[in-house]
Amino acid sequence: MDPIDVQILLELMNDAQLPFSEISRRIGISRETVRKRFEKMMKEGSIKKLMVLVDGHKIGEQGAAFLMITCLRDANKEVVFQNLEATTDVCLVTQLIGDFDFFVWVRAKSLPQIGQVVNDIRGCEGIDQIETLLLPQTYFAFSLLPKITIKCDGMDLPKR
């Protein structure tokens, strides 16, 4: 990736519906260059997919739960990951290094629903312990845009 690819990614991370013509205007390259670079990044897997960020409260969710999961010592973490990923209402699974093995983000329609998800996960092969954090209200929105300078092939790009 070069600095132009990074600039295209930053624009798309801010608004994935932004037309290529607008991206080209903002970063000073042709629309066709943006299109070709976008297609190349999709093909190479730098861009895995474009997604919609949903306001859960507007669709009836009451909050969220973060689950910090510890596996049994001899657990196959790939199997654990696949089981977590397939669990209903799980919207993010990531492996961790530290006191916990996995972080899981669950969308919460109700407290009983969270309890059901936790029970489902407890039944998965290789799970030892689950620590649950309930988030009844989110007071801020988050952005996936980086808040720091990005280094790309030794060239600094300005903070956004």
Average pLDDT rounded to a whole number, residues 138-160: 49
76: pLDDT strictly greater than 50: yes
Higher-pLDDT residue of 137, 82: 82
Higher-pLDDT residue of 77, 152: 77
Q: Give the integer Cα–Cα distance in Å for 13 and 46.
A: 12
3.30.70.920, 3.30.1020.10, 1.10.3720.10, 3.40.640.10: CATH of 56-135:
3.30.70.920
Neighbours of 65 (CB within 10 A): 22
Quote helix, strand, coil % in the chain, to nearest 5: 35, 20, 40
Q: Where are the domains of the chain?
A: 3-51, 56-135
151: pLDDT strictly greater than 70: no
Query: What rounded mean pLDDT belongs to the chain?
Result: 85
User: What backbone torsions phi and psi does residue 10 show, to the nearest 5 degrees?
Assistant: -60, -45
* 129 token code pair: 């312990």
CATH architecture assigned to 3-51? Orthogonal Bundle (1.10)
- Encoded amino acid at 107, one letter: R
Q: Give the integer Cα–Cα distance in Å for 3 and 96.
A: 29
Average pLDDT rounded to a whole number, residues 37-61: 85
13-22, 67-76, 141-150: least confident range: 141-150
At 138 the pLDDT is 63
- Per-residue pLDDT of 12-42, as tens digits, reads 988 899 999 999 999 999 999 999 999 999 9
- Whether pTM exceeds 0.75: no
**What percentage of residues in the chain have a pLDDT greater than 70?**
85
Higher-pLDDT residue of 55, 117: 117
